[in-house]
Amino acid sequence: MKILLVDDHAMVRQGCAALLRAVLPEVQLSEACDGEQALDECQRDIPSLVIMDIGLPGISGLETTRRLRQRLPQLRVLFFSMHDELTLVRQALDAGAAGYITKGASPQVLIDAVRRVLSGHAYIEQPLATELARNPVHGGSPDPRLQGMTQREFEIFVMLARGTPARQIAEQLCISGKTVSNYLTLLKSKLQVGSHAELVHLAIDTGVLRVGERRMVQA
């Protein structure tokens, strides 16, 4: 398994490489400092995953991704960017990216994103995913069933719908497991659903969750 790191800052590439080698020692890593070099690297040896910056010199990360995906439709691309504007996130997804995280994310988020995208799923950093769901890509207003929710309620709703275990939600949001349970009870009442399964169906129905995106929860 090979991962290509594409970033014009050597320190960023070296930091990512060190982290990935420590956690995924079986991975072969290569680097590129711009879009042209990334295209050449992928032409010589197709990687399993490309971790791509947006702000590259010359060809942008977005255009590089478009070209790579045209040549190699099966290629998985994860954007790792300093930018958190929703417009750029949407452009990255439209270019064919399977994931998007920011450089302000924790190392664990990067590892989770890499594993998720390598396994064939999409991964968008949680705050960005929440904002994307609340602000539909193609315009229009959020589903009225979701408009009465607070930011925190919506965040937990998205995580629960995706199959994130309550214990993990508590750890990520720095709240107690009991608080997560309380939120679940509140959400069921507010959204007028009687079970976790109905909550998931509502998430799919409102466009918050795509079919096949929910992960299997370990018992």
* Per-residue model confidence as pLDDT tens digits over 47-101: 999 999 998 888 889 999 999 999 999 999 999 999 888 878 888 988 899 999 9
Q: Which of 63, 11, 9, 2 is nearest to 33 (CA)?
A: 9
What are residue 30's DSSP bridge partners? 4
Q: What is the structure's pLDDT at 103?
A: 94
Both structure tokens of 3:
């991962």
Q: Does 124 score more than 60 pLDDT?
A: yes
pLDDT tens track for 134-166: 775 544 445 677 777 776 788 788 888 878 888
Residues 143, 157: contact at Cβ < 8 Å? no
Task: Work out the pLDDT band at 28, boundaries 50, 70, 90.
Answer: very high
Query: What pLDDT, on a 0 to 100 scale, did the predictor assign at position 217?
Result: 38
Please state the domain extents for the chain: 2-125, 141-205
Kindly provide the residue ranges of all beta strands, DSSP E only, lying in 91-190, ordered along the sequence: 99-102, 123-124
Alpha carbons 149 and 162: distance in angstroms, whole number: 18
Q: What is the mean pLDDT of residues 190-219?
A: 71
pTM of the model as a whole: 0.66
| Amino acid at the residue 145 | R
Q: What is the DSSP string of 190-207?
A: HHT-SSHHHHHHHHHHTT
141-205, what's its fold? Answer: Arc Repressor Mutant, subunit A (1.10.10)
Distance CA 56, CA 198 (A): 44
Higher pLDDT, 7 or 174: 7
CATH fold label, 2-125 = Rossmann fold (3.40.50)
With pLDDT > 90 as the criterion, what percentage of the chain qualifies? 51
Q: Answer yes or no: are the C-beta atoms of 123 and 113 closer than 8 Å.
A: yes
Decide if pLDDT at 211 tops 70. no
